[in-house]
């Protein structure tokens, strides 16, 4: 993310409120404000009788549909929270999947609600890899290699019967290095999930989560991927798994309906790579070469506080150029759109769009507390602050901090 001292146009006259064709022109968005994928842990257990045990199957319901519908706009793009393509992909409490018919039926409620408001919605497919725990998945935990966490990071949720302070350390649960059979099964899980998403749930496309230290990025990153076969070593081989996942999805649903999210400068989940530019440049070069009609590529931009916290890792990248997205736009060209997530708010979201640095801006937290965010930005209205403590479930009062935020007009009436 770069800034300058000039004052770009704001509100309705901004380029943010001009049409954006994605998916090789088969979908045209009416504005460039995109709702980010955000884990909220509001799913419900498929089997309510297993509450005394770790629930491994969570489904979407009417409340989740209401949440997304509140934030849908005509011609606006929403990307869902992380959805697991298989049980071993995560099973974080409250996170839903897309491998059963019940999953498809649950998410159909959401797509119907978003489409009723004229919106577009993509399902984000996520495999956590070594960022999952067997106590929740009931399966082995897989990654590119059996590389454990090197940090003291703890899992997001405590095991059944334990307190929040007693959460498990990731490093105490090293993953299993995936065999070719594991890789093939995992890719098959992505394909099945995409098929359900498109044919049963009615999504407009799927976005593969290739960032945040999850499985795809574990394969991309040299400190986690220590393989000596065709999936490890050089940057092109470390990109192989990601490209095989995308290839399988393109074959199943078409390149115009497949997108990917990447975090080239991320350090989340203990991943880092000493060939940052080479690895991610090769990956997006291959995306552009193989699938010129690809839906879009979403990038999580570098957060300056993260970079400051890991100076040795940043130094290892050998970065001799600005950490921004111009390089990606130059590679992907005009047809594959580049959208950016990176701490955007009502003050800093205007400039990059006007300069053409990015094609769309992805908002996360501000969409949580402002269901009418698009209109507030269009009309220059103030934004409601979010409550970080209410971001995540599961909780007995699922609507709190979820569907109970009002529009600007509703908030004004309460004053």
Active site residues per annotation: 214
Assigned token pair, 198: 């498109």
Distance between CA atoms of residues 339 and 299, nearest Å: 6
Name residues whose C-beta falls within 8 Å of residue 98's C-beta, 6 or more positions apart in sequence: 83, 84, 85, 104, 107, 123, 125, 192, 193, 196, 197, 201
Helix segments in 11-156, DSSP class H: 62-71, 101-116, 134-137
Angle at 239 between CA 321 and CA 352, to 5 degrees: 40
C-alpha to C-alpha distance for 142 and 186, rounded to whole angstroms: 10
Tokens of 292: 């010129």
Run of H or E including 300 = strand 296-300
What are the structure tokens assigned to 90, written together?
Answer: 């995560």
DSSP character string of 194-219 = HHHIIIII--SEEEEE--TTSHHHHH
Checking phi first, is residue 344 left (phi over 0); if not, alpha (psi -120 to 50) or beta? beta
Give which of 178, 205, 334, 317 is closest to 259, Cα–Cα: 205
The b-or-e profile of 181-212 (16+ CB within 10 A means b, else e) is: eebeebbebbbbbbbbbbebbbbbbbbbbbbb
| Side-chain-side CA neighbours of residue 188 (13 Å) | 6
Q: Please say whether the beta carbons of 373 and 71 come within 8 A.
A: yes
**Rounded CA gap, 328 and 265, in Å?**
13
Tokens coding 279: 């690895």
Cis peptide, bond prior to residue 374, ω within 30 of zero: no
């Amino acid at each position: 993310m770069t800034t300058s001292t000039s004052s770009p146009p704001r509100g309705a006259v901004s380029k943010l409120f001009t049409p954006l064709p994605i998916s090789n022109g088969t979908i045209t968005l009416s504005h460039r404000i995109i709702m980010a994928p955000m884990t909220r842990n509001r799913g419900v257990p498929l089997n309510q009788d297993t509450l005394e045990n770790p629930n491994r199957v969570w489904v979407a319901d009417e409340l989740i549909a209401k949440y997304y519908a509140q934030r849908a706009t005509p011609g606006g793009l929403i990307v869902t929270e992380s959805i697991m393509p298989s049980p071993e992909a995560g099973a974080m409490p409250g996170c839903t999947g897309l491998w059963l018919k019940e999953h498809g039926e649950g998410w159909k409620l959401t797509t119907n609600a978003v489409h009723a408001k004229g919106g577009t919605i993509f399902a984000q497919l996520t495999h956590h890899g070594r960022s999952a725990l067997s106590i929740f998945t009931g399966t082995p935990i897989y990654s590119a290699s059996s590389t454990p966490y090197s940090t003291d990071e703890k899992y997001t949720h405590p095991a059944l019967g334990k307190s929040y302070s007693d959460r498990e350390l990731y490093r105490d649960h090293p993953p299993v290095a995936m065999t070719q059979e594991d890789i093939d099964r995992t890719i098959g899980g992505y394909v099945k999930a995409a098929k359900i998403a498109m044919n049963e749930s009615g999504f407009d496309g799927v976005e593969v989560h290739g960032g945040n230290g999850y499985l795809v990025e574990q394969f991309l990153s040299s400190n986690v991927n220590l393989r000596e076969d065709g999936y490890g070593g050089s940057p092109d081989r470390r990109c192989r798994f990601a490209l095989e996942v995308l290839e399988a999805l393109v074959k199943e649903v078409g390149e115009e309906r497949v997108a990917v999210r990447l975090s080239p400068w991320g350090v989340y989940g203990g991943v880092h790579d000493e060939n940052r530019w080479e690895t991610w440049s090769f990956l997006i070069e291959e995306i552009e070469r193989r699938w010129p009609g690809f839906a879009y590529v979403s990038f999580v931009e570098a957060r300056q506080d993260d970079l400051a916290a890991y100076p040795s890792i940043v130094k290892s990248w050998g970065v001799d150029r600005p950490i921004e997205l111009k390089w990606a736009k130059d590679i992907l060209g005009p047809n594959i759109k580049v959208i950016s997530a990176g701490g955007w708010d009502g003050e800093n979201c205007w400039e990059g769009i006007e300069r053409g640095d990015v094609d769309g801006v992805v908002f996360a937290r501000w969409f949580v507390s402002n269901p009418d965010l698009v209109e507030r930005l269009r009309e220059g209205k103030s934004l409601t602050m979010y409550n970080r403590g209410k971001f995540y479930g599961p909780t007995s009062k699922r609507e709190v901090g979820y569907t109970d935020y009002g529009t600007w007009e509703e908030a004004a009436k309460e004053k």
